[in-house]
């Protein structure tokens, strides 16, 4: 057991969890959260930068703790990684996300929609992960191109191992996205080393678009470079029309953020899309 390592995280992020006993409690509660069906998967729409039309969604995990209420993924994903629980949880996330995508395809008739799930680098060492993903797609008769796996560069601990798994996914036609692009010191290194099909510009860049002209130059350069490598570019954390305007004029492909929608239950997305003024 390594629960002592969890101390600072929980003390700072959740005032309720400041004793060793409480930490141990949260730890053991997480082990039962799957079977008790305490997880919920929400979906934040991704839209076209050109006209705001619905293109896909990112799955975002929530844990509804029976006593503590909603717990932020920033806290429990770390816990899940350290305990190895991220493997079964991650498999559950993939199945749920594909279920959601399938229901949207049936309801809207739009076969171009995609769904993205977040992957901890720890999951890349899940033996049989690629096979599981392929089987989950086949079971629903979904083409591999509808699934995107988002991986954060700053967490890449074993780049060689990760590169092998990523190219395995790429060979099968499953897209891998470099999340939080531009925040790690190795961003450009990673672009050369891994077979990504998309980069996701970190929210920190989007935040400073309106106030800092040199940031706009930087963002434009990142978009152009990604495009020259045939990568799709997504911007996250778009909250205002002015940010949309800049990103559209710079040729960013897809947008995501509170300007368009917060993360919603799966069944709410088709209705949300119908209400968009396209």
Residues near ligand C2E, by CB under 6 A? 44, 59-61, 72-74, 77, 93, 117-120, 150, 152, 179-180, 236-237, 239, 257-258, 263
Q: What is the CA radius of gyration of the chain?
A: 19
State how far the Cα of 22 lies from the Cα of 249, in Å rounded to an integer.
Answer: 50
Distance from first CA to last CA of the chain, Å, rounded? Answer: 53
Q: What is the nearest approach in angstroms of ligand C2E to the Cβ of residue 59?
A: 6
DSSP 8-state assignment for residue 3: G
Residue nearest to ligand C2E according to CB distances in the complex: 257
User: If you count DSSP H runs as helices and E runs as strands, how many of each does the chain have, helices first?
Assistant: 11, 10
Q: Which one of ligand C2E, Ca ion, none interacts with residue 257, CB within 5 to 8 A by kind?
A: ligand C2E
Site for Ca ion in 196-225 (CB under 5 A): none
Q: What is the nearest approach in angstroms of Ca ion to the Cβ of residue 127?
A: 24
DSSP 8-state assignment for residue 15: T
Site for Ca ion in 226-245 (CB under 5 A): 236
Helix axes 86-108, 73-83, angle to 10 degrees: 130
Q: Which one of Ca ion, ligand C2E, none interacts with residue 73, CB within 5 to 8 A by kind?
A: ligand C2E
State how far the Cα of 25 lies from the Cα of 232, in Å rounded to an integer.
Answer: 43
Find the part of the chain contacting Ca ion (CB under 5 A) among 7-15, 93-101, 115-123, 127-135: 115-123
- Choice between 146 and 234, CB closer to ligand C2E: 234
**How many amino acids of this chain bind Ca ion (CB under 5 A)?**
5
Q: What is the nearest approach in angstroms of ligand C2E to the Cβ of residue 28?
A: 20
Rule CB under 5 A: say whether 150 interacts with Ca ion.
yes
Q: Which one of ligand C2E, Ca ion, none interacts with residue 243, CB within 5 to 8 A by kind?
A: none
Rule CB under 5 A: say whether 123 interacts with Ca ion.
no
Q: Which one of Ca ion, ligand C2E, none interacts with residue 261, CB within 5 to 8 A by kind?
A: none
Q: What is the nearest approach in angstroms of Ca ion to the Cβ of residue 200?
A: 6
DSSP 153-176: GGG-S-HHHHHHHHHHHHHTT-EE
Distances (CA, A) of 143 to 17, 148, 149, 168: 43, 12, 14, 16
- Choice between 20 and 161, CB closer to ligand C2E: 161
Task: Report the candidate in 50, 99, 100 with the shortest Cα–Cα distance to residue 276.
Answer: 50
Q: What is the nearest approach in angstroms of Ca ion to the Cβ of residue 113?
A: 17
SS3 239: coil
Q: What is the nearest approach in angstroms of ligand C2E to the Cβ of residue 258?
A: 4
Give the CA-trace dihedral at 114, 47, 57, 257, to 10 degrees: 160
Rule CB under 5 A: say whether 118 interacts with Ca ion.
yes
- Choice between 188 and 258, CB closer to ligand C2E: 258
Give the CA-trace dihedral at 119, 120, 121, 126, to 10 degrees: -80
Exposed/middle/buried for 32, CB within 10 Å: 0-12, 13-18, 19+?
exposed
Q: What is the nearest approach in angstroms of ligand C2E to the Cβ of residue 73?
A: 4
The contact set with Ca ion (CB under 5 A) reads 118, 150, 179-180, 236
């Amino acid at each position: 057991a390594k629960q002592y390592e969890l101390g600072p995280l929980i003390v700072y992020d959740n005032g309720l969890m400041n004793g060793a006993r409480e930490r141990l409690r949260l730890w053991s509660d997480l082990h039962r959260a799957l079977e008790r069906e305490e997880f919920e998967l929400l979906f934040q729409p991704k839209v076209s930068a050109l006209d705001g039309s619905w293109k896909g969604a990112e799955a975002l995990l929530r844990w509804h703790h029976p006593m503590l209420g909603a717990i932020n993924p920033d806290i429990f994903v770390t816990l899940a990684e350290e305990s190895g629980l991220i493997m079964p949880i991650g498999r559950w996330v993939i199945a749920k996300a594909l279920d959601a995508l399938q229901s949207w395809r049936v309801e809207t008739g739009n076969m171009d929609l995609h769904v993205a799930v977040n992957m901890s680098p720890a999951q890349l060492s899940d033996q049989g992960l690629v096979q599981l993903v392929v089987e989950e797609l086949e079971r629903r008769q979904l083409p591999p191109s509808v699934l995107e796996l988002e991986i954060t560069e700053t967490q890449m601990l074993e780049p060689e191992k990760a590169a092998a798994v990523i190219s395995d996914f790429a060979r099968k036609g499953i897209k891998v996205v470099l999340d939080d692009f531009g925040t790690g010191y190795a961003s450009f290194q990673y672009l050369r080393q891994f077979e990504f099909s998309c980069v996701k510009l970190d929210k920190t860049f989007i935040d400073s678009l309106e106030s800092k002209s040199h940031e706009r130059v930087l963002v434009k350069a990142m978009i152009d470079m990604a495009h020259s490598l045939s990568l799709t570019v997504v911007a996250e954390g778009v909250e205002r029309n002015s940010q949309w305007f800049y990103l559209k004029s710079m040729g960013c492909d897809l947008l995501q953020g509170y300007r368009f929608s917060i993360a919603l239950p799966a069944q709410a997305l088709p209705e949300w899309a119908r209400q968009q003024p396209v």
